[in-house]
Structure 1
């Protein structure tokens, strides 16, 4: 091979001339590096046998398996690509590098620490159009030409940010060494590959490999490195260790993982994964699997801060987050709880500091101009600084009219001069200590608003707490009291609503738990809520005469008060959006408090004996049953693949609608995901009614214990998707004694067998076709367990019946028409909405077909300016490079709101070639007033009339589809007619009221 044999686009002549502009970094021959790396070459060159290192490499080095620079690894390339190694051995290519330069650069990886597929998949915006515009040859060229400066990564084992943190920390002995080995445009990657011997083994390059532990644990590896066989510990692990069963770091045991999960071991043996760690990083970490003994990620992954960091992209998975917090010793994730005494002292110290500020700032103004929205009763006995902090948080919390009524029960501190600091309040100073109860009743006589809030002086309200409580109180005239989530100063729960046991004892639900745990974050009716924050309609409080004076001076008065409300038919509601920080016992100074509690408990048992008889016995096993007041409506466990967020598409919108419908019907709903996925809590809670319990921190591995824990908690179980029922059926059998005898519902979402046969007809068989009847029987073999089966269309219900099940109901979609206002002339472009879950997704197939077959025809008729916008959720790691290579498409990876897209585009396209279920995207597009061109596959599922409700794109057929799009795109009259007819069809087919009625019928049918 000579220089002239290389293609001009990779012109090595420029290297000799010193002009390297436009030449990929990986193509440049590095003479200095080459001579240092290969001593044999240095000896020959010193002897003058060759004019240059490049000439020696071309004539001799290639044949010896030398690499031309640090960016390309010849040995690894040949070992990885056996076809190339064969052609090099036969003399077709002089080296693996020659193959890469001429052909391999397009889709193969050049180095063990860089994957072209990984780089392009996790940076989907980097298309061939981008590369051409920037003048780069491929992903590796882009990476080395500056892409890494954006802290992109070309390998899961090399994160520039992590490497930079460990190699360049201030004071690090390796910092200077790291900087000296770098390059201008590829600093971290270049530093690592070009570092001095031993440097690469002193610091991490990612959260997934620990070189120090690896070398210490495998003492033979340092010898191999010293012998020149490997350049570093990471080099050894990636190229050899993972294939030999080595573990990458202390927190992952290859041996343990394969033994604990036999399915993984089978996959590794079959060659589906390189090792158990490969499986763990691909799927196991997000599935919640255990990486090593005593390393459980489930609880850690449920922390709100962890989930938020993963959702924002700071970490790939909870395992990396855990490693990072351990390495960095981040106090936010310390396993040890904050000492409560220290937390209380800090709370009081903060209050004292705020009190000084209030004295200088002119005080707090509670002057009430006009009718007050709420009357706040606060009873004081000393604790001046705490009082000011509580009042400051109240004033900051709510800017409406507050009638503040304060009873100072014989304080001896600065509280006696409270008027200097608080203006506009009704303050009564008593010359005796009347106690909490009598003081509250005294203040009640002064209340003039419609709502009264009993508020302790040792609390601090979270933003929006009072407004949220008022909104809840006003939402239902049957609500007699609203309480909130009370958090102690150590950051753990004091209570999330409280339970009254049969013996009169009380129990704060979830005490000492994380306030972000799912069990604490849904609205429910409870036995009582703490008087530290208790909002009540004023008329009810007065009719009841306030607190019962039998409980003077305090304790059990709020429990008795709530019971009296319940006995009169009112609800006591716990609302987790009402958040209060409480200095527990901060207001109690009585040495005889325990004795007083016992006395008042006996009074409570006597006065409320009839109520207590129907309460649960005092036992921790009854906690889940006792946390909510029992309703006549069913309690439903809703099981799905994952938490069904609406932005996910793929049937999850419909599942979300079912949950919403059950909540509207008054059911107590618990959502249990089979697979663990990580989303911010704000995103999760914002997508569901606040009465729904969403167990975002659970997965299939927890179901066994969960069903036993929730014995007697459910009246019905709604299981989404047939494959989920098949997966959990053994667990359901095992735990049947803890569950209802009937009330099981299988929601098929989509019948899979016909779709797979349809896919085989389109793409070619992916396996043995078999008989449709046989496939249907196999698909629904597990359905016998359920009393009711739900199909999404009449067509699919018939498939279920063909499988031998007659107990089938049909439940479609729930949609309200909301046509977007833009006119025909104000819109342009085509729109596609649909999720891409994996590489075999029908949505991905339809987009690829449309861009390849239909878009060229459309550009001939509509012009080159016409573009398709494809919007939808994409599972991380799904490769969209093939789609993005087409000109004329804009891919939007998820969107919080689709309305702006529907308002901007003129025609919606649904070129699906194989699918099951019912196309929500067509219903939604029509509901937003965007006319649709759909394939006959979807039209058949919808049962709509082609030419009236939408236009047909054939089976699909490219010419037919293009012609239909052109008609809609050009003819405003056709566009308006189809738009109007489609809106009418959505109103008829997707009426939410009919949807709710169907859900209730299904639920009742399953329970009969």
Structure 2
């Protein structure tokens, strides 16, 4: 049984009925046990008819998904409508109009769901057959991990379903939970925000109310009872304490505002780090690395949710180092796993047959331990599909290694009756090598996927590279080395040994002193020139260190490649017995042999590891670039330009460390794809750790580059105090934009000051004085830097107006890449930009376009839509935009080529802005003609009607007219496309950008 509902698509209405629309006969008769008696009294035989004519007036709900009583209590306008008899029930109101924006149930908030998932616009839902967000969640979202709300955690419901399987049916987790008896529903939490067992134990009256049938369970009572401030939801939140310590929230509580302090805490305070109870410092807790990683990665909704889960034993204790895996146990596990390969490989040989010239010759010296050997070879073969010439030296084995031919096909096997040792075995094998590169590989390793591929690619990246070292990880998942350091006394140190293998310091490529020959890739010609290993290091130890030093003496570089990751069973090939004495003896040999080399090395001390981790070429300088966040290209708002600066600095052979003022929110592995492999991303740092970071790296950097003026203002006290650690360090402030004119224009457009009060009306003279005052305030910290960077000549003049003459200009870098789809196959309108807050120019421009311009687009077909793409900060509510039937919100998009290829027109309806409009240049470079406001046309300096179309920001009708003209005129479209491509190629030439950047750096260092 279903109810009438106004929806835009009749076909959709016929094909799909939301669960919340139906009448559940069996549920209804169980929920209201007096219905049977009342039906007899009133002469009804059908419970649906009874509900329609009697039950709905008595406050009955038609199904489990809608709560009639709660709905009328939550929305005063619904109560008024019922009193005025415009609707006969709250459910009738919901089906008529409420479904578009109101919550139907205390467990699901339509507006919050749409805010969380910005792509769920009205257009998106209608096109895919969903009536609203609630319908989307019940029929699709829950199955795909969407979050219904803070009090409904899908993972906890799944755990409950596993425990009480007989109570959960195929209709879904939420649907099943809604009909659970109280003793089951209250046995385990459905959310970390509410503890049902604690609640009923603490408040006996709740149990009585549930038994009386007034409430279905403890959570139902907490979220719907008439005195919400009288109850605490769990032992970890105190309503009275929160109100006392957060007095700023009191005006928003009660009446038609927030229900209680906990509602504020769940929506805001838990994410801000406000204290929920005396003794719990949530702000400090949220700064712990594991906490922010779990929360930003979506494992937990907030630091508070993670805190409660931890207290319940279901989250790793944050801030406390977990005990390291016992290495003896992990070493044994490594061996046990190797033994598993034997039966598998007995059935099918490892194929190392070579057809043609091999890509690489792999030399492996083995002595017994067939299981380790086969495990290493299996990982080698499985991780690289190219031609491998495998040369195995059997050094006096007595186990199944003597039958390697039966297990490995195509290998060159050199046999010895006695153990000749690793060094002599490798030198013998070198004579059989035919590939241009040699990989020295231990048999006690496992290669991670693509390790050899990445190493080979690095080896041939530059002619000067002689060898490539791997990121070696011990069996206990701690680093063995991320490249190795040779100290002045000849001793060695694996950089970041015993650290997390994914620490930022281990995750970028660089020149190093040497790499362990557990995995060492070397060019064959250089090896033969040096005669392989020096036999004075027979049988092993320091032979690889010596080889790397000799390679450097003939001008070859040793490069660390973090993508070549290898798990290593240390001493697995040789065992540790006798190793120490041999190491000590060969250390002395090595130190004596390379005295001249060693005197230029760092003295042996762990604090010198930073300086020793990289073989610094005299001409290569180090840059510390500080930005709001790690500048990912998808963030827009100047981050693309910062990313281009990083790339250009690397191309100019600078070493770059990127440091974020705000700790990065994305998982680290998602960051690297946006940067060259040589860049060090300090993703585990933020402004609070900068003083310690600078102290640890005292004297390390040659240039400090601070992106955005407000960051210089924030950091100035830190930089002043830490200047002793930045001796002989140049400094740059990259303004990205001079914001003062934009701020004044924003006030003129919106009529409001930043605090929300009305903006004053100013004369022209007063406007100039206001501009000078804002410029002085904005640039007050610029005195710290040797050079100030503007993005346009106009901005440079503004900076000079504020009294600074040390100004240089650096625009954008871009390579035109026009998308190929022809005009006739394109449709719709595109806007691309980031939404970091609701005060941003992009948010204002989209609100203006949707509210003021779209209504005038009458000459376009009704199905032509505006698609809004770009990063949306979680704090930005996009629902006002998404409710327009011509709007679809795409969110962040990685593949911009595919994105731009489908649209006919790009719009940039910006009403206030500053700097250089990247979005305009990007659309031009992608070959999508555009309509922009006059302010953007003036900033980019292109001619209207020749390169783009424009209209005044205060004339929505004119803007709409230009959009229609461009959309419908193919000849105009083609002419603008070609002209814009030429203009953007001239204005954003990458080589000109690099040259300008080089000049800036040189000026800053002099």
TM range (shorter): 0.7 to 0.9
> Partner residue of 1:419?
405
Paired with 1:978 and 1:293, the residues of 2 have a C-alpha distance of: 52
Paired with 2:795 and 2:849, the residues of 1 have a C-alpha distance of: 26
Deviations 1:451-477 (A, max 9, x none): 221111111222221121111111111
Paired with 1:244 and 1:758, the residues of 2 have a C-alpha distance of: 49
Alignment of 1:315-334 (within 5 A): 316=301
TM-score (norm. length: structure 2) = 0.84
Alignment of 1:891-906 (within 5 A): 891-906=889-904
Q: Conserved in 1, the CA contact under 8 Å of 2:286 and 2:303?
A: no
TM-aligned CA distance change 1:280 to 1:475, over 3 Å = farther
Are 1:559 and 2:545 matched, yes or no?
Answer: yes
Give SS of 1:169's match: helix
> Partner residue of 1:867?
865
Deviations 1:785-834 (A, max 9, x none): 33322222222223333334333222111001122233333433332222
Are 1:156 and 2:155 matched, yes or no?
Answer: no
Paired with 1:135 and 1:560, the residues of 2 have a C-alpha distance of: 69
Q: 528-537 vs 92-101, which deviates more?
A: 92-101
Q: Conserved in 2, the CA contact under 8 Å of 1:280 and 1:291?
A: no
Q: Conserved in 2, the CA contact under 8 Å of 1:794 and 1:810?
A: yes
Alignment of 1:434-473 (within 5 A): 434-473=420-459
Q: CA deviation at 1:838?
A: 2.9
> Partner residue of 1:591?
577
Paired with 1:532 and 1:258, the residues of 2 have a C-alpha distance of: 61
TM-score (norm. length: structure 1) = 0.84
> Partner residue of 2:289?
299
Deviations 1:313-352 (A, max 9, x none): 6665677678768868699999444332222222222323
Q: CA deviation at 1:899?
A: 1.2
Q: Conserved in 2, the CA contact under 8 Å of 1:375 and 1:451?
A: yes
Q: 945-954 vs 471-480, which deviates more?
A: 945-954
Q: Conserved in 2, the CA contact under 8 Å of 1:757 and 1:769?
A: no
Paired with 2:671 and 2:231, the residues of 1 have a C-alpha distance of: 39
Paired with 1:980 and 1:114, the residues of 2 have a C-alpha distance of: 50
Give SS of 1:639's match: strand
Are 1:723 and 2:710 matched, yes or no?
Answer: yes
Give SS of 1:944's match: coil
Give SS of 1:895's match: coil
> Partner residue of 2:941?
943
Q: Conserved in 2, the CA contact under 8 Å of 1:647 and 1:894?
A: yes
Are 1:118 and 2:112 matched, yes or no?
Answer: yes
Are 1:881 and 2:879 matched, yes or no?
Answer: yes
> Partner residue of 1:279?
268
Deviations 1:188-234 (A, max 9, x none): 44554554344433212124443345666889987897899987554
Are 1:571 and 2:581 matched, yes or no?
Answer: no
Are 1:990 and 2:976 matched, yes or no?
Answer: no
Paired with 2:625 and 2:687, the residues of 1 have a C-alpha distance of: 13
Alignment of 1:306-455 (within 5 A): 316=301, 335-361=322-348, 363-455=349-441
> Partner residue of 1:200?
185
Are 1:489 and 2:475 matched, yes or no?
Answer: yes
Q: Conserved in 2, the CA contact under 8 Å of 1:119 and 1:139?
A: yes
Are 1:929 and 2:918 matched, yes or no?
Answer: no
Paired with 2:689 and 2:202, the residues of 1 have a C-alpha distance of: 33
Q: CA deviation at 1:609?
A: 2.2
> Partner residue of 1:612?
598
Paired with 2:818 and 2:51, the residues of 1 have a C-alpha distance of: 70
TM-aligned CA distance change 1:379 to 1:975, over 3 Å = same
Q: Conserved in 2, the CA contact under 8 Å of 1:302 and 1:697?
A: no
Paired with 2:735 and 2:840, the residues of 1 have a C-alpha distance of: 18
TM-aligned CA distance change 1:1000 to 1:291, over 3 Å = farther
TM-aligned CA distance change 1:611 to 1:200, over 3 Å = same
Q: CA deviation at 1:923?
A: 0.7
Alignment of 1:738-817 (within 5 A): 738-740=725-727, 742-765=729-752, 766-767=756-757, 769=759, 771-817=770-816
Q: Conserved in 1, the CA contact under 8 Å of 2:123 and 2:886?
A: no
Q: CA deviation at 1:732?
A: 3.1
Q: Give me the CA root mean square deviation.
A: 4.4
> Partner residue of 2:765?
none
Are 1:675 and 2:668 matched, yes or no?
Answer: no
Give SS of 2:419's match: coil
Q: CA deviation at 1:533?
A: 0.8
Deviations 1:109-163 (A, max 9, x none): 455433231122234454445777899986557767887676654422213x234
TM-aligned CA distance change 1:164 to 1:915, over 3 Å = same
Are 1:169 and 2:162 matched, yes or no?
Answer: yes
Paired residues in the alignment total 962
Alignment of 1:604-683 (within 5 A): 604-631=590-617, 632-683=619-670
Deviations 1:490-542 (A, max 9, x none): 22221111112222221111222222222221111111111111111122222
> Partner residue of 2:767?
none
Give SS of 2:608's match: helix
TM-aligned CA distance change 1:855 to 1:73, over 3 Å = closer
Deviations 1:290-334 (A, max 9, x none): 96599566332587xx69xx66x6665677678768868699999
Deviations 1:920-952 (A, max 9, x none): 111111112222221111111112222222222
Q: Conserved in 1, the CA contact under 8 Å of 2:906 and 2:929?
A: yes
Paired with 1:841 and 1:243, the residues of 2 have a C-alpha distance of: 36
Paired with 1:752 and 1:791, the residues of 2 have a C-alpha distance of: 11
> Partner residue of 1:835?
834
Alignment of 1:24-43 (within 5 A): none
Alignment of 1:237-248 (within 5 A): 248=234
Give SS of 1:453's match: strand
Q: Conserved in 2, the CA contact under 8 Å of 1:491 and 1:514?
A: yes
Q: Conserved in 1, the CA contact under 8 Å of 2:740 and 2:775?
A: yes
Paired with 2:632 and 2:188, the residues of 1 have a C-alpha distance of: 40
Paired with 1:920 and 1:811, the residues of 2 have a C-alpha distance of: 13
Paired with 1:196 and 1:211, the residues of 2 have a C-alpha distance of: 13
Q: Conserved in 1, the CA contact under 8 Å of 2:933 and 2:951?
A: yes
Q: 1:601 aligns with which of 582, 587, 593?
A: 587
Paired with 2:266 and 2:473, the residues of 1 have a C-alpha distance of: 40
Q: CA deviation at 1:31?
A: 7.5
Paired with 1:587 and 1:538, the residues of 2 have a C-alpha distance of: 24
> Partner residue of 2:999?
1001
Paired with 1:219 and 1:711, the residues of 2 have a C-alpha distance of: 62
Deviations 1:597-626 (A, max 9, x none): 111112222222222222222222222232
Paired with 1:723 and 1:884, the residues of 2 have a C-alpha distance of: 32
TM-aligned CA distance change 1:489 to 1:84, over 3 Å = same
Q: 531-540 vs 549-558, which deviates more?
A: 549-558
Q: Conserved in 2, the CA contact under 8 Å of 1:25 and 1:144?
A: no
Q: CA deviation at 1:690?
A: 0.6
Give SS of 1:528's match: coil
Paired with 1:111 and 1:477, the residues of 2 have a C-alpha distance of: 67
TM-aligned CA distance change 1:238 to 1:512, over 3 Å = farther
Paired with 1:455 and 1:136, the residues of 2 have a C-alpha distance of: 57
